[in-house]
Amino acid sequence: MAPHTEQLTRPAVRLRGLTRSFDGRTVLDGIDLDIPAGQFVALLGHSGSGKSTLLRAVAGLDHEVTGSGELSAPERVSVVFQDSRLLPWRRVLDNVLLGTDGADKGRAALAEVGLAGRERAWPSELSGGEAQRAALARSLVREPELLLADEPFGALDALTRIRMHHLLRELWERHRPSVLLVTHDVDEAIVLADRVLVLDRGRIGLDLTIDRPHPRSYRDPLLGEYRERLLAALGVTEDLA
């Protein structure tokens, strides 16, 4: 294979035999996973199944993770959490620029997430949704090759959440980073991601490609089949969902 082809096809994330235990309890049990560059992946699993542990390992935030093989991820990685983690003593633009320079880029990123004109606001003046928009802008200015998002919309109300879904997908279309989105929400996973993984007993229990065009609607009956398969993998029957 020619070198340039090899580069294009190299996955953004490659995990081989990723294992993590806490106090002798195995949470990740030899995970193998490739995420091709530019793919939008969602990770589902019960509370405590190890989703955040996996994400932290990919982000390079966990130094005690072990694996018989590899853990490789690109250099430019941005992480977005459930809370915006904006520094309260810095104005919005300064939060977005933290550790980087180029105020113009910061302004452009804020405009992209619909926060033009709010550059000088304090984080305490933002709503929850606006704060998450600012967090997304902060991740964008770093031009990430990989965006890791841990329940980024978990604390938002249902309407704001839907708006944020559109925004995230739009940003992805424009910048095409690889995305690994941790969520509890099966519908969020199906509407946003092109591939959904279910973490179960330390392994990837289901790896499902969602083959439907975007933008997707929650009401699309063809998504129902995917929903059922994911709920079954999570051990939830349709009557309980």
Ligand X SMILES: Nc1ncnc2c1ncn2[C@@H]1O[C@H](COP(=O)(O)OP(=O)(O)OP(=O)(O)O)[C@@H](O)[C@H]1O
Positions that interact with ligand X (CB under 6 A): 22, 27, 45, 47-53, 184
- Kindly tell me which of 45 and 129 has the beta carbon lying closer to ligand X: 45
Q: How far is the CB of 235 from ligand X (least distance, A)?
A: 14
Minimum CB separation of residue 45 from ligand X in Å reads 5
Cβ proximity to ligand X, 6 vs 23, nearer residue: 23
> Minimum distance from CB of 43 to ligand X (Å)?
9
CB of 204 to ligand X, least distance (A): 13
Closer to ligand X by CB, 45 or 106: give it: 45
Distance set, CA 6 to CA 35, 58, 77 (Å): 15, 22, 21
Whichever of 52 and 139 has its CB closer to ligand X, that residue is 52
CB of 226 to ligand X, least distance (A): 21
Residue 76 corresponds to which tokens in the numbers above? 């430019």
**Pairing status of strand 40-45 against strand 195-200:** parallel
Please state the closest distance from residue 196 (CB atom) to ligand X, in A: 15
Coil vs helix vs strand at 94? helix
- In sequence order, what are the beta bridge partners of 178? 146
Q: What does the angle CA 151 – CA 41 – CA 139 come to, to the nearest 5 degrees?
A: 55
Backbone φ and ψ of 147, nearest 5°: -110, 120
Specify the residue, 49 or 132, whose C-beta has the smaller distance to ligand X.
49
Residue-wise over 200-231: b if at least 16 C-beta within 10 A, else e? bebebbeebebeeeeebeeeeeebeebbeebb
Q: Which is nearer to ligand X, 16 or 184 (CB)?
A: 184
Sequence-distant (6+) residues with CB within 8 A of 71 are 14, 15, 16, 18, 57, 58, 65
